[in-house]
Amino acid sequence: MSVIFAKTLKGYEEIDRRAAGFSPRVRRVLIFVDGKRTVEDLRGLLQSDDLEHTLGMLEEEGYIGMVEAIGSDGVRRASPPQQPALTAFRLHPPGDDPQRLRKARNFMVNTLNTFIGAVGTSSLQNRIEAATSPAALRELFDEWYHAIVSSRDGRREAEQLRRLLLEVI
């Protein structure tokens, strides 16, 4: 299924005012979202390794919204019912699972060490280690992801790593 996003009023205001302080790359994605291009079209135009994450962030913050989906049969469907955002976290059973929390913490710290190194991310790693709940780790998700895509090797693996972490937290 192909998804088409369009700017919301908040998105158009951001284009005019630049109030959110987006990076040039995020701003470029927002500019290219036009209500006509699919995510695949945007990927071809923007050459962005973290496009899905950026679109998900823009959607969650209300700058863009899904307006249409095109099924594998080529049929266009207006606003599919209640699809989760591209970076939506999984719903887990009530209560915090200490094993899942430890697994998510270890994953985040190990990927930072592998792709960035301990020196450049020690502050982030300390905050990850200090997180006492999945909600606290979710608050660090964007910072973790941007650290991963800041390295050349991490950028190649970013989408797969993002999906794996989203399964846990």
pLDDT computed for residue 83 by the predictor: 42
* CA–CA distance, 97 with 134 (Å, rounded to integer): 9
pLDDT computed for residue 68 by the predictor: 75
Q: 58 — phi, psi (to 5°)?
A: -65, -40
Residue 92 pLDDT exceeds 60: no
Residue 80 pLDDT exceeds 70: no
Q: What is the DSSP letter of 37?
A: -
Model confidence at 130, pLDDT cuts 50, 70, 90, reads very high
Q: What is the DSSP letter of 141?
A: H
pLDDT computed for residue 143 by the predictor: 86
pLDDT computed for residue 81 by the predictor: 41
Average pLDDT over residues 36-52: 84
More confident residue, 64 or 84: 64
Average pLDDT over residues 34-44: 88
Instruction: Give residue limits of the domains in the chain.
Output: 2-78, 98-168
Judge residue 81's burial from the number of C-beta atoms within 10 Å of its C-beta, 0-12 exposed, 13-18 middle, 19 or more buried.
Answer: exposed
Report the share of the chain in percent with pLDDT over 70: 83
Q: Which amino acid is at 72?
A: S
- Those residues with Cβ within 8 angstroms of residue 43's Cβ, 6 or more apart along the chain or in another chain: 51
- Those residues with Cβ within 8 angstroms of residue 92's Cβ, 6 or more apart along the chain or in another chain: 100, 134
pLDDT computed for residue 77 by the predictor: 59
Most confident of 10-14, 82-86, 90-94: 10-14
Q: Would you say 109 and 123 are in contact if contact means Cβ atoms under 8 Å apart?
A: no
* CA–CA distance, 91 with 167 (Å, rounded to integer): 9
The encoded tokens of residue 14 equal: 């951001």
Q: Would you say 90 and 164 are in contact if contact means Cβ atoms under 8 Å apart?
A: no
> If you average pLDDT over every residue of the chain, what do you get?
82
Estimate to the nearest angstrom the gap between the alpha carbon of 151 and the chain centroid: 17
